Amino acid sequence: MLRPGRLILASATALVLSLQVASAQIWPEKWQLHKRVSAEPVAVEDSALFQEYGGAVAEKAVYSGLAGKFSATAWRLNDSTGAYAWYLATRPENGVPVRGSQGLAVTTPGSQFLIHQNYVLKFEGWRPQEGELKELYNALPERRSGGGLPKFVQFIPASRRVRNSERYLLGLTSLERFAKIIPATAAGFEHNVEGLIARYTVPGGDSATALTMAVLAYPTHQMARQHEAEFARLPGWVVHRDGPLVALVPPPAPAEAASALTQSVKQEFVLTVSEPTKPLPIPNVGGMLVAIFELTGLLLVACVGGGLAFAGLALWMRRRRARSGEGDAMLTLNLEDRKEPFESLR
């Protein structure tokens, strides 16, 4: 039998656990064979960066299932671009890319880190399979893509890129964290500029001698041209522009290697044209003429038939009246009795 003090403590503990479970904003109570034990908000270490990326809420849950207990952390952001930026900034440095994920999921011993639309997810103590993840995605609240992942990232070379060195630039906070060497006035983030910074090894070198390249995506070609000129005035910088993309390698860097790296950034357009899988059949002109004559004959038959039918109906009605003695009605004016008024007018 519990003492009153212990009973109160147990009741308070149960109340706190129930409030934690009830206040869950992201993680579902049940997920396949896993049952949520607890859920609590997560304090984001770099709140300024999280806010710049459009962070909304972060939550950590503990599940219990056949695989035992494991923890799951989720960060929800406003759109997929912000989630991609947060994913690059927080994924483990030793993460190994999952095959077929296009760099959007990495694993470490005993953990998995991935992005899905506007969510960044982290599992510790257990790694879910693809089917389990699909069921979880359907249970996550307020999912939205917001236009999908940034398109200009596909034009940045992946060859010789140092693994997990990418960082996304969305404003002055991320510029201060990851690319402090880039002048904020020259970058122009007040014009809705986005960018990606990564490190690249040079031929014969290693990660210690890797070059840092930043690619800024501007809304228009004219704006990119203006900022290209501003960066070109900085001493020692290697600058290359391709359309609205401006590639930068800050000093110190070998001029030849830096120039080759920046010139590898090319915006390529893919034009999709829908074409028939087999050639169209040649029009049958003879068949078209035959169809025209057939339609003309049908219209003539319809007109003649309609005229004959109307004439026959009129003839039949006239004969019917003749047999009945009615005859055709005639209107007569009896003017003989009206001579006197006219005679007075003479």
Asked if pLDDT for residue 328 goes beyond 90, the answer is no
Instruction: State the average pLDDT for the chain.
Output: 85
156, part of any domain: yes
Mean pLDDT of 121-129: 93
Q: What is the pLDDT of residue 202?
A: 87
Q: What is the pLDDT of residue 15?
A: 39
276 vs 209, which has greater pLDDT?
A: 209
Same domain, 44 and 134: yes
Same domain, 197 and 254: yes
91, part of any domain: yes
Same domain, 222 and 102: no
Number of domains making up the chain: 2
Same domain, 107 and 133: yes
Q: What is the pLDDT of residue 341?
A: 54
Same domain, 125 and 190: no
Q: Which of 112, 127, 145 is the last residue of a domain?
A: 145
**Euclidean distance between CA atoms 298 and 305, whole angstroms:** 10
Same domain, 85 and 140: yes
Contact status, residue 106 vs residue 96, Cβ threshold 8 Å: yes
The CATH number assigned to the domain holding 61 equals 3.40.1000
73, part of any domain: yes
pLDDT tens digits for range 11-28: 443 433 333 334 568 999
Strands (E), the chain: 30-31, 34-41, 55-65, 68-77, 96-97, 105-108, 111-116, 119-124, 167-169, 194-200, 211-217, 238-242, 245-249
Same domain, 23 and 106: yes
**Which domain, by its residues, includes 188?**
150-275
Burial 35-54 (b: 16+ CB within 10 A, else e): ebebbeeeebebeebbebbb
Same domain, 141 and 22: yes
Q: Which of 145, 180, 210 is the last residue of a domain?
A: 145
Asked if pLDDT for residue 342 goes beyond 60, the answer is no
Same domain, 119 and 175: no
Q: pTM of the predicted model, to two decimals?
A: 0.71
241, part of any domain: yes
pLDDT tens digits for range 86-112: 999 999 999 999 998 988 999 999 899
pLDDT tens digits for range 157-207: 999 999 999 999 999 999 999 999 999 999 999 999 999 999 999 887 777
Asked if pLDDT for residue 282 goes beyond 80, the answer is no
Q: What is the pLDDT of residue 333?
A: 61
Q: What is the pLDDT of residue 323?
A: 75
C-alpha dist (Å) from residue 212 to 49, 100, 266: 21, 26, 17
Asked if pLDDT for residue 1 goes beyond 90, the answer is no
346, part of any domain: no
Q: What is the pLDDT of residue 285?
A: 78
**Euclidean distance between CA atoms 179 and 168, whole angstroms:** 10
Same domain, 269 and 224: yes
Same domain, 136 and 180: no
Q: Which of 123, 145, 167 is the last residue of a domain?
A: 145
Q: What is the pLDDT of residue 326?
A: 62
Same domain, 177 and 132: no
Burial 313-330 (b: 16+ CB within 10 A, else e): eeeeeeeeeeeeeeeeee
64, part of any domain: yes
319, part of any domain: no
Q: What is the pLDDT of residue 241?
A: 96
